[in-house]
Structure 1
Amino acid sequence: MTAQLGLGTYRCPDVAEAAVRAASRGADWVDTAPNYEGGRAEAALALVLAAYPDLRVSTKVGFVPPNARRIGLRAGVLSVDDAERGHCLAPGYISWQVARSKRMLGRVPDVVFLHNPEYDCQESEIADRLYVAFLALEEACSQRVISSYGLATWRGFSSGLFDVPALLELATKAGGPEHHLRAIQLPVSLVHLAVVAQAIDGHGPLVDALDAGLEVFASAPLHGGEIPGLVTRELTDLISPGSTPAQAALAVVASTTGVKRVLLSTGNPEHWTQAADTVGRPPLSPDVLRRVVDVLGT
């Protein structure tokens, strides 16, 4: 398949252990955030990243980890309101957090994603929020605190709050033609099939990202581990005869046009091996993907 398997750490109870297992089995990317594993994920990854220098890493800025709220308040980068709601994309906080992430990880992150910028945001406010955040991230890139940035969203694309052309326009406004917007991250799964259906028909965020040269990170491909228990034998055989339900579900995600990396959150070595085997196979045909969409709907 054209996609690669990467480690997502949102639901990993032991991020360092999961990262070592993934890296030792050929993973080249780990995705994390300051608020994962109770605010300990970035620090837990530092030794792993040092041991595997070819392992690339992305982190996020937006949600404020509980263990950083008091520090952020003392530093003057968080308001009391932002600290209480646990999310902030103010320029001062972005600059502070990306520098902190670099220190925690022990290296410059390859990508820093704006984490759910739609959080507690009205439609009329989103463009200004993104533009101001992009300005801060472009500054971080110019100072070599980060290498590039992206946007990780749960419902921003599906709700129509923004699209890839709008993001590119804002990035160009913030950073010029040589801006550093490089990636998007969004849920793609048998539960979130609308983006798959759009890609089959040649439009939507996955196709727009591909055309723009942005990398697409597919998050929650098994919807928090719920999907394998929902997939019937008939659906598994329709997708990939002889596979497990989890492998069939991952095959759909990894075969979708535009998807560059599939982020799987697991510390189970058997699950990782099965997933890597699935992603390493030839992609499913558009006809199979279309039949899956016809059966399940969007």
Structure 2
Amino acid sequence: MAVLGLGTYRCRDITAAARAAITAGVTVIDTAPVYARGSAHAQLAGLLPDRPGLRISTKAGHMTRHQARTAQQAGLITSDEAARCHSIAPAYVRHRIAANITEMGRRRLDLLYLHNPEHGAHGDRSRLLERIIQAFTILEAAAHQGDIAGYGIATWSGFTSGAFTVQDLVTAAQRAAGSTRTHLRAIQLPVNLIELTPVAEALHGAGPVAEAAGTGLEAWASAPLNGGELLDLVTADLAEFISPGASHVAATLAVVASTPGLTGALLSASTAAHWREALSAFQRPAIPLPHLQDICRVLRA
């Protein structure tokens, strides 16, 4: 059964959300330097020194306007990268590793994702994969230096658009490491009742979630409630069909939690009540695979 972590992308008050999650027993928090208008790391930093057991994942890629101006002035990114507020250039990735460590006051990063590396690739798949290899080379060096424990890819559309596959990422990591032993650890992608393709594919042993599991990588679902949109879209009848007796939220999350091969999901919840409801959905027995197939057929019809 998958586990539940805190995703901070949509949290208005990241400190309060993290406190509520930690109190509820959550041990995984996902963030990024661009979240909360660039204050996400600072909001988390005060909670981290006394909680070494927390696993924090963060990112390199997207940046705020201020972060982009600073990086350009330092010669780390081009004017085009500054204009689109995104870069996975080696110099910027190296800078972001050090900055993330400093901002959160940690000795090393548990997991660093390249944040939507497909952003701005304009369909040039070969060039994108080469840029990923270059970034992975920096990440492998950082892992050997003890600055990060592992790295991965957090994407919104990279897998669905065909920009890359899990095997592409594994191959890129092996090229970067010069070995079959790498520090590539995880992928993160949207999985929910709207972004249902990863669930349907996983039921047949295909798609990024199954491929990640098959290569020993973690697979994390982002946006399990699709930014809260599903709270209004899921009807009482649909919730009852998915999981009899469950609330709308619990039924929606149950589909994600039951996806074969999924490591966990990252939820932006801010109150104790929300965490109790969400965690109960992840602690219930998984939806039987035949019924999960029926749910996919109904929702994709």
Q: TM-score, normalised by structure 2?
A: 0.96
Tell me which amino acid in the other structure corresponds to 1:21: A
Q: Match of 1:3, as an amino acid?
A: A
Cα deviation for residue 220 of structure 1 reads 0.3
Residue 141 in structure 1 maps to residue 143 in structure 2: yes
Partners in 1 of 2:89 and 2:275 — Cα distance? 37
**Cα distance per residue 1:219-276 (max 9 Å; x no partner):** 0000000002101112111111111111111000011011111100121221111001
Deviation at 1:61, TM superposition (A): 0.4
Residue identity matched to 1:28 = T
1:57-206, aligned counterparts within 5 Å? Answer: 57-107=56-106, 108-121=108-121, 122-175=124-177, 176-206=179-209
What amino acid sits opposite 1:61 in the alignment? A
2-side partners of 1:73 and 1:129: how far apart?
19
CA RMSD of aligned residues (A): 1.1
Whether 1:29 and 2:28 are equivalent positions in the alignment is yes
| Alpha carbons 1:38, 1:66 under 8 Å: kept | no
Q: Name the CA distance, whole Å, in 2 between partners of 1:154 and 1:68.
A: 22
- Measure the CA separation in 1 of the matches of 2:148 and 2:104: 12
The answer for the alignment partner of 1:20 in structure 2 is 19
SS at match of 1:224: helix
- CA distance in structure 2 between the partners assigned to 1:49 and 1:180 by the alignment: 24
Structure 2 gap ranges (5+): none
Aligned residues: 297
Query: Which whole-Å deviations, capped at 9, do the CAs of 1:5-39 have from their partners, x for residues lacking one?
Result: 10000000111110011011100100000000000
Aligned to 1:232: 235
CA separation in 2, counterparts of 1:161 and 1:278? Answer: 33
Secondary structure of the structure 1 residue equivalent to 2:143:
helix
> In 2, distance between residues paired with 1:211 and 1:157?
16
Aligned to 1:223: 226
For 1:291, the equivalent position in structure 2 comes to 294
Q: Write the deviation string for residues 165-206 of structure 1: whole angstroms up to 9, x where unpaired.
A: 111111111112221000000000000111111011111111
Equivalent position amino acid for 1:161 in 2? A
Runs of 4+ in 1 over 4 A off after TM superposition: none
Bigger mean CA deviation after superposition, 47-56 or 279-288: 47-56
Q: Which amino acid aligns with 2:166?
A: V
TM-score, reference length from structure 1: 0.97
How far did residue 124 of structure 1 move? 3.3
CA distance in structure 1 between the aligned counterparts of 2:129 and 2:80, rounded to whole angstroms: 21
Q: Is 1:210 the equivalent of 2:231?
A: no
